[in-house]
Amino acid sequence: MEKKKKVANNKFGLVVVIHPFGRDGTFNPHFHCIMTKGFFDEAHNFFPINYINFKFLRIAWQNAVLKLLKELFPSDQYIKNLINLNYSNKNGFYVNAEIDIFQPKGIAKYIGRYLARPAIAEYRILDFSDGKVTYWYEDTRSKSKLTTSISVEQFIFRVFSHVPHKHFKLVHRFGLYSRRILQKDKDIFEKFKTMLFKIPALSWIDRILAYTGKHPFQCEKCSFFMKIIRLYHYKYGEIRYP
């Protein structure tokens, strides 16, 4: 009898954000996911992932969704026909890969962009007259701005139908990003943060240079660097400088 292969207990992090609407405000449920580009093995060694087979990912996502629908609606013939129709799609479900994010602020900004905004933002509304609302949205395929006009009732429905119910979680975190992790996994996460999220502290000179584009000790007229003799602040007095 052939022995079963031991399943590797690798640890990675995943954040999933549920997004129920498309750019035009209509019902278009999809997920935005952020995953660590690598994993830790049982010995706490980190292995980066430099290549992801997105064709396999599309098919795996398709199988996962259709399998779940089959379990939830075992006797619904309409759902069965829908499942069989989607299985005929050999390319799998749509998956779009974004660029890599290397900074914690970039991750927070990416997630917040999809959680803090309504289905149709106010600045996209162009006109409200004769019982109709006209607004624009950006088409995902053509990348061009399109304009549409709908009735007030339809507009209200498109906005409020996407407001989540009380206590409904739009963000789910798994693996290294999960709140409920064992102590041994916390040790891995601390190592993970040290490796990927270590941000060197900038000196005050570097901060001024990054903010203004000018070195505080460089003369604007002759471009020579001034020699530091004494630093004095009108409010705090003399400032010691090493």
188 within a domain of the structure (yes/no): no
137 within a domain of the structure (yes/no): yes
Please state, in angstroms and rounded to a whole number, the distance separating the CA atoms of residues 214 and 203.
Answer: 14
Neighbours of 12 (CB within 10 A): 17
152 within a domain of the structure (yes/no): yes
pLDDT reported for residue 82: 92
Please state, in angstroms and rounded to a whole number, the distance separating the CA atoms of residues 56 and 91.
Answer: 9
pTM of the prediction?
A: 0.62
174 within a domain of the structure (yes/no): no
pLDDT reported for residue 210: 82
Counted domains in the chain: 2
15 within a domain of the structure (yes/no): no
pLDDT reported for residue 171: 86
110 within a domain of the structure (yes/no): no
Closest CA to 28 of 158, 166, 168, 173: 158
Closest CA to 28 of 18, 36, 38, 37: 18
Domain of residue 139 covers 121-160
pLDDT by position in tens, the chain (length 242): 455 555 567 888 888 888 888 888 888 888 888 888 888 887 778 888 877 888 888 999 899 999 999 999 999 999 999 999 999 888 888 888 767 777 767 777 777 777 767 788 888 999 999 999 999 998 877 888 999 999 999 999 988 888 888 888 888 888 877 877 666 666 666 666 665 555 566 777 888 888 888 888 888 888 888 887 777 777 778 876 65
87 within a domain of the structure (yes/no): no
154 within a domain of the structure (yes/no): yes
